[in-house]
Amino acid sequence: MNKMTSYFLAITYSLLITSFMTACFMRPSLLTAEQQSTKINESIAKGGYSAVLNYDIESITETWQHDGQGIQITMLAPVVPGNYPLIVYLPGLGEAAEAGKLWRETWAKAGYSVFSVQPITLGEALKGTSKVTPTKSSSWFSKEYDNSAALKDVRNNDLRYVGHQYFSQEQLSKRINHVLWAYAQLKQRSQSRLGLFARADLSRVVIAGYDIGAQTTAAIIGETYNIALPSTADFRPLAAILLSPAVDMALGDISTRYQNISMPILAVTGAEDEDPSAISTPFARTAIWEYAPPGNKYLLVLKKGNHLLLSGDHLIQSQDLKSTQESPEETESRNSRSRFSNAYGGSTERSSHEDKPSNRMPPKSRGGSTLNGNQDYAQVAVVYSVSIAFLDHICKNDNVAGSWLSDKANQWLNKSASLKIK
């Protein structure tokens, strides 16, 4: 081999190595909130369902006290005074009442009032779990990578231990009591025409929940357990939305658990819907639709949907984000502060929601990793369209929404998701 050939081979090898390292370590560029919103709207415009009106919205966040415990609530409603169907939203494990922003804001902008409820202890449940923090010298080829993997295993074990504690039947009973009490407080404020609570139409109520909130939702609407649960006679929703339904296979036969659920439901899951607590599997999450009696029962399965996406918190949100220059430790610290600051202060926040340009980073996931939602906009558009169509069909008797669900939805969904109805 002559010197010239050796030289070109060396150059080629160097370029290949540089390209490989660049591909390994460079992040894809992040879309702004506005860019992601545009992509979602473009996807919906190709045959999805959207509400007739798009309202400006405002919110209030408070901490109430019940049975010696702080209950954080967030109320969202259109700015224009009126009576809007009420959605009671129950967040996931380790989430504050402000979680699920993508879904809650979308529903409110479509003409609904949204009341989110979360006990502070439930929102703080994951604060003590192990953190996965690789050393600075750790890399894909370093021996220290094994240490990071070990730390991740420790964290996963922590999440499963904590998760199974909170998903227990005894804890479920306590959560139902908190929800019923918070709804009674909302009802009093609504009847007294106080602030945003006055805009809730209590004759048209839907309950929705994600993760452990979905477990609570299922129990409230009729899933049976081995223990006596609090009476829900004073809380009679028209329908329910379950985002990542929690189905604990350890409780036994699932074929009889859902026979008492007669109301309309929309269950939303995904092919990759594995939760950190290992309570359910993607296969098991469809059980509530499979075994509940027929009649306005909808099952939406996202082809690429995972547990985090269904939280409704993973895309870039200008209100929640921090400079791209911050370290992972700073991001995690900020997320913890913003998530739990209201819990201790008992303060009240009011805000109007206006998207503003941002060059900030997306929030941390429950597993501790930073996410880029650029590839998920189509899946988010699916949840937007199907959930709003379901709500309009049930709460507003909208024939267009019902027709879209039964005749046009699957054609639009194509390969991104499937919708089953019985």
- C-beta neighbour count of 80 within 10 angstroms: 12
Q: What is the mean pLDDT of residues 87-99?
A: 95
Rg (Cα) of the chain, in Å, rounded?
Answer: 23
Residue 176 within any structural domain of the chain: yes
- Mean pLDDT is lowest, of 22-26, 175-179, 203-207, 242-246, for 22-26
Residue 333 within any structural domain of the chain: yes
Q: What is the predicted pLDDT for the residue at 381?
A: 95
Distances (CA, A) of 152 to 149, 276, 350, 367: 5, 11, 38, 9
C-alpha 276/C-alpha 282 separation (Å) is 12
Q: What is the predicted pLDDT for the residue at 324?
A: 30
Query: What string of H, E and C letters represents the secondary structure of the chain?
Result: CCHHHHHHHHHHHHHHHHHHHHHHHCCCCCCCHHHHHHHHHHHHHCCCCCCCCCCCEEEEEEEEEECCEEEEEEEEEECCCCCEEEEEEECCCCCCCCCCHHHHHHHHHCCCEEEEEEEHHHHCCCCCCCCCCCCCCCCCCCCCHHHHHHHHHHHHHHHHHHHHHHCCHHHHHHHHHHHHHHHHHHHHHHHCCCHHHHHEEEEEEEEEEECHHHHHHHHHHCCCCCCCCCCCCCCCCCEEEEECCCCCHHHCCCCCCCCCCCCCEEEEEEEECCCCCCCCCCCHHHHHHHHCCCCCEEEEEEEEEECCHHHCCCCCCCCCCEECCCCHHHHHHHHHHHHHHHHHHCCCEEEECCCCCCCEECCECCCCCECCHHHHHHHHHHHHHHHHHHHHHHHCCCHHHHHHHHHHHHHHHCCCEEEEEC
- Mean pLDDT is lowest, of 133-147, 149-163, 394-408, for 133-147
Residue 188 within any structural domain of the chain: yes
23-40 pLDDT, tens digit each: 444 555 667 778 888 889
287-316 pLDDT, tens digit each: 999 999 999 999 999 998 899 999 998 654
Q: Give the type of residue at 376.
A: D
The share of the chain scoring above pLDDT 90, in percent, equals 52
127: domain CATH number? 3.40.50.1820
264-290 pLDDT, tens digit each: 999 999 999 988 776 778 889 999 999
Q: What is the predicted pLDDT for the residue at 15?
A: 53
C-alpha 385/C-alpha 405 separation (Å) is 9
- Mean pLDDT is lowest, of 1-15, 23-37, 249-263, 387-401, for 1-15
Give the pLDDT band of residue 226 (cuts 50, 70, 90). Answer: confident
Would the pLDDT of 332 be above 50?
A: no
Residues contacting residue 239 through CB under 8 Å, at least 6 positions apart? 206, 207, 263, 264, 265, 266, 296, 390, 391, 394, 395
Cα 366 from chain centre: 11
Give the pLDDT band of residue 166 (cuts 50, 70, 90). Answer: confident
CA angle 55, 57, 59 (to 5 degrees): 160
Residue 14 within any structural domain of the chain: no
> Bigger pLDDT: 395 or 333?
395
Mean of per-residue pLDDT scores for the chain: 77
The range of the structural domain enclosing residue 282 comes to 33-132+168-421
Residue 158 within any structural domain of the chain: no
**Domain tally for the chain?**
1
Full-model pTM: 0.76
Among candidate residues 185, 181, 171, the one with its CA nearest the CA of residue 219: 171
Q: What is the predicted pLDDT for the residue at 204?
A: 97
Would the pLDDT of 135 be above 50?
A: no
Would the pLDDT of 8 be above 60?
A: no
The share of the chain scoring above pLDDT 70, in percent, equals 69
Residue 285 within any structural domain of the chain: yes
Question: Quick one: tokens of 216?
Answer: 């609570």
**Exposed e or buried b for every residue in 11-41, given b needs 16+ CB within 10 A?**
eeeeeeeeeeeeeeeeeeebbbbeebbebbe
Q: Are 122 and 171 in contact (CB under 8 A)?
A: no
Residue 205 within any structural domain of the chain: yes
Scan for tokens 């009011």, then name that residue: 350
62-73 pLDDT, tens digit each: 999 998 889 999
> Bigger pLDDT: 162 or 12?
162
Residue 22 within any structural domain of the chain: no
Highest mean pLDDT (candidates 7-16, 122-131, 351-360, 361-370): 122-131
Q: What is the predicted pLDDT for the residue at 375?
A: 53
